[in-house]
Amino acid sequence: MFKANSNKSRTHFKISLKTCIYPLLLFAMSVQAQQEDIEKVAIYGRVDAIPVNQLHTSVFVFNQQDIRRLNAVSALDIIKNIPGVAISRSGNTQDIYLRGAETNFVVIQLDGVQINNPVDTRGGSVDLSAIAKSSVQRIEVFKGAQSSVYGSDAIAGVINIITLDNRNTGSEFHAAVLPGGNKLGALRLTGEKLSVRASLSKSDVLANTQQSRTAEVATAIDLLATDRHTATVTAVLNDYTFKGLPDQSGGTRYATDPAKERKEGRWLSTSMLYQYNASENHKSAARVEYFNTEESLTSPGIAPYFNAPPGESDHDYQFYKVRLLHQMQPSVTARSLPQLSFGADYKSESGENSGQMELFGQSIDTDFIQERDTLSVFTDVFFPFAEGAVSFSARHDNTSQSNASDIHKTTWKAGGNLDITKHLTAYINAGTAFKLPSHYALGNNLVGNSKLRSEEARNLEMGVNWHSPTSSISLSLFHYQYTDLIDFDASTFSLVNRERVRSKGAEWVVSNTIDKWISVAGSVTYVDTEAQSGVLLNHRPNWQATASVQLKLSDAFHSSVAGRYQSSVYATSLHTGEVAQFTLPAHAVIDISTTLVLADNHSLSVYLENLFNKTYYTAVGSPAEERSVGVQYSYYFR
């Protein structure tokens, strides 16, 4: 199933009938149809949630109804269904690539709090398989450069996972045995002022040898809820343990040592949001955030151990953040005037790692401590006019770092849209973004480099959106340029700024509610990602596609059929003792989920994963799950 790459020239992929047939059928059905109300999303630089058509950029939203239909175990399983997102999973390691960008170029938020971990070896990843699907109420994805609003790390986009959502009322209990042998119990209680949820999950040994246990408790409390004042406190505590073969060990097919590595950790994410509505035209908000993650990893290494020696590490990362925000919006009778938002935030973060690795018979310490503080100011201006709108946002970040040079960065984003007809809108945006060097890249005593500069990006995107009361179609063209990317230099045996990567492509997303009994959706994404040095980039598919059909045969019977396609990708493994590159073949997978409402408060869902039992791999030698069935019982409190 694998093909080793001896020729390092880039492969050109062709469009196949399978890749296109479902989205083309969806398009044919959609052109006759007539979108529901425009979705509103929460933006860091605005007090109020705003309609997605004011963003002039690609936005994708999974609401609670969409998520419940998905055949998924965790938040990671959900986002692999998002157009333009590619997932790589090897042992205890996961990578998320958004339109070909590096896995640590995407800001991951949990209920609005960033949970990326800059102390780990990937410099900003987070294990989303620790968040149960039952915990996720909504996911909002913003694609492209977002640093003018979110600051560092938002080079390729932002994924906001919402688990405490006051738009969803009621209480519920779930008990399930999901595909892959994942046992789950989850409870959510919602009152007038208080919402609490808890989940516990445990898996069998999966096909890729991974085994997991996760537990999560969360709460949201409304301290104030008046016309002028609102105040909400949220907290999420997550605890997890994962076991599996080391990343790039060659998986179950090639690994020469069956010993597994063990990863266990926990995170605490808290925030308090206060909002003051002085009038219809003036609103202010203050938010305080705290995040802490601790993780330990014990790895047996990968024989013959030169590139991946045995070792263990314990790291701890935390930050405090304070944000002040003010919004000025014209009255209903003066909507042609600009809307202005501006604010400031201060973030203090610290990270440390303690551990050791066994190399050439010697024990080498891998200890380091890094601290930094960032003070930022930002503004966002929105100018509406009769046939559309234009917007501009800018942000300045001033970062001081221990044992490294200070970094000052100004980023911007500008865009606009034009209403061509009642249902058709064209948009364009351009902007810049950056990512601070991670704590690991700066402080690691083996490969760290205190002189590293921030990684940079430029973004250009244009597209058209067509929408009506029951359907929508969007087509976007994008071009991203990443410079000063951090890479390992063998001659100096350290990380350096040198790589340049270009990513360009197109994306088409369509949805249509044909009638009250049937709706369809689909997407096709093409991304061509290329490094200036000519090195082949791993896990970046040229083509991805999704298609789904939702059937409501009666008020008591709902069913969904969903398919995903991904073209072949490059991947590496260290099981030979050196870096060996392979090609993972293309694959297409179809899942089915069916829900039967047993009574007013009871329902039973059946999930069938990988209907045709297709064999495919998420990493070299790491197979995905074979065909499997899962069942979930749900009880809804009134």
CATH number at residue 529: 2.40.170.20
Domain that holds residue 405: 3-637
Strand ranges in 329-406 using DSSP code E only, listed in sequence order: 339-359, 362-365, 368-385, 388-401
pTM confidence score:
0.91
Residue ranges of the chain with per-residue pLDDT less than 70: 1-38, 166-169, 331-336, 638
Integer Cα distance of 414 and 56 in angstroms: 9
Integer Cα distance of 535 and 513 in angstroms: 44
What are the C-alpha distances in Å from 106 to residues 99, 101, 153, 290, 378?
11, 8, 6, 20, 20
Q: How many helices (H) and strands (E) does the chain have?
A: 6, 37
The pLDDT tens digits for 408-426 are 999 999 999 999 998 999 9
**Secondary structure of residue 5 in the 3-state scheme:** coil
Number of domains in the chain: 1
Side chain identity at residue 481, one-letter code: Q
Three-class secondary structure assignment of 558-618: EEEEEEEEECCEEEEECCCCCCEEEEECCEEEEEEEEEEECCCCEEEEEEEECCCCCCCEE
CB contact set of 172 (below 8 Å; sequence gap of 6+): 187, 188, 634, 635, 636, 637
At residue 27, the pLDDT reads 38
Structure-derived torsion over alpha carbons of residues 124, 129, 130, 132, reported in degrees to the nearest 10: 140
Integer Cα distance of 356 and 362 in angstroms: 10
Integer Cα distance of 572 and 559 in angstroms: 38
Integer Cα distance of 414 and 149 in angstroms: 12
